[in-house]
Amino acid sequence: MRKQQIIAIIVVLLLAAGAGAGYQFYFKPTLEKLAEDKQFLKDLNTKLSTLKRTFPTNKPDAEVAEVKAKIQPWEEALEQRARQFSIGAFKQIDPIPETRVLKSHYARQAQKIVGELYTEILTKQIYVNPRIDLYFGMPRPDSLGGKTVHPIEVMYWSTNIQFGASVMRLLLDSEVGGIDDLHVWTPKEADGFKSYPVGVSMWMTMSGFCKLVEKLQNDDTMTITIQGFSIRNTALRASQDPWLKIDMTFRFDEYDYKPKPASGQAAGDAASAPGGAASGDAALSGISGNRLAQIQAMRAASARNSSGSAGGGEASKPEESFWQKLWPF
């Protein structure tokens, strides 16, 4: 082969290699960037058309104000009703100190609650059956010898004793003549609600019982539901309003409602939290209407696009070696 032919072949190979390297290192990245820009432009046009359909009046502030005007009364009603689904101070106890001698603290607190209740019973001179357990099923302090006590157990026992004592005081403050039995059952939880059922057997006049029922049903600080009662008159020939034997079951309903923070604090939390947009959707989830559905669809599409762009960018691509970049095929 002649020298001129070899040189010509080498020159052709060098030109081909230069063209391939130019395509691989310059034209190919440029084409990929162009494709990304076209997709970005397409997403922007989609968002723009969605905005135009969502806000036909071209006044998004007015639309948002209209939605807020619908939400605000519902939020206020929710907070007002949720405050009533509480048991007030019926389970309020002294804070548990940071100490290892928890049995001594429980003994002092339980004896204090029971002692104050017993003193009130004696002061008001109302008959209470001595067989009624004023610890309401919780362990007595003298029964914890040699046992390890956990702070959660102390809180559970103390709050239950306090709740039973509060229920007893509720009856003592009514026109009750005597209490034969009082039982507080284990609370039941369902759908965020916790119910505290109570059963009582007592002596009352008809007028006193009617006042008690009215008091329980019209209490604005908590929700009390009378589930049933039975009345027996053992003195049919009495010349005055007789004492009636009344067995009644009722319950206290509590809802674990967390009040919504102030608007400034909520905005700061939404800005700092990664799921701030989702909390806004949750706040709007109770509103119906095509306009709100369009707003939610727009936010969902925006979230998908942002997650797609964040997860499908340069960081998600596998790294290529030098030879993979050099070899275009």
Convert the pLDDT of each residue in 127-159 to its tens digit: 999 999 999 999 998 888 888 888 889 999 999
The pLDDT assigned to 181 comes to 95
Q: Are residues 245 and 151 in the same domain?
A: yes
d(CA 161, CA 151): 15
Q: Are residues 267 and 250 in the same domain?
A: no
Q: Are residues 234 and 277 in the same domain?
A: no
d(CA 53, CA 51): 5
* 205 close to 175: Cβ distance less than 8 angstroms: yes
Residue with structure tokens 């019926």?
90
Given pLDDT bands bounded at 50, 70 and 90, which one contains residue 21?
Answer: confident
Shortest CA distance to 223 belongs to which of 196, 201, 247? 196
* 63 close to 196: Cβ distance less than 8 angstroms: no
d(CA 78, CA 72): 10
Q: Are residues 305 and 269 in the same domain?
A: yes
269 has a pLDDT exceeding 60: no
Q: Are residues 179 and 314 in the same domain?
A: no
The first and second tokens of residue 243, run together, are 């004492």
pLDDT > 90: what percent of the chain? 31
Residue 286 located in a structural domain: yes
Instruction: Give the amino acid at 82.
Output: A
- Residues spanned by the domain of 51: 3-78+261-326
Q: What is the pTM of this model?
A: 0.56
- Burial (0-12, 13-18, 19+ Cβ within 10 Å), 67: middle
End residue of a domain, out of 255, 271, 304: 255
Across 53-62, 76-85, 270-279, 312-321, least confident range: 270-279
Q: Are residues 146 and 246 in the same domain?
A: yes
d(CA 230, CA 202): 11
Shortest CA distance to 232 belongs to which of 245, 241, 243, 213? 245
End residue of a domain, out of 255, 281, 301: 255
d(CA 49, CA 301): 12
* N-to-C CA span, the chain: 31
CA dihedral 118, 123, 124, 127 (to 10 degrees): 50
Residue with structure tokens 């959660």?
152
Sign of CA dihedral 264, 265, 271, 272: positive
d(CA 310, CA 166): 57
The secondary element (H helix, E strand) that includes residue 254 is strand 244-255
223 has a pLDDT exceeding 60: yes
Mean pLDDT computed over every residue of the chain: 77
CA dihedral 59, 61, 64, 65 (to 10 degrees): -110
End residue of a domain, out of 255, 286, 304: 255
Q: Are residues 45 and 176 in the same domain?
A: no
Q: Are residues 265 and 223 in the same domain?
A: no
Residue 96 located in a structural domain: no
* 88 close to 252: Cβ distance less than 8 angstroms: no
* 171 close to 129: Cβ distance less than 8 angstroms: no
Domain count, the chain: 2
pLDDT digits 0-9 by tens, 43-66: 998 888 887 787 777 777 776 777
d(CA 153, CA 270): 37
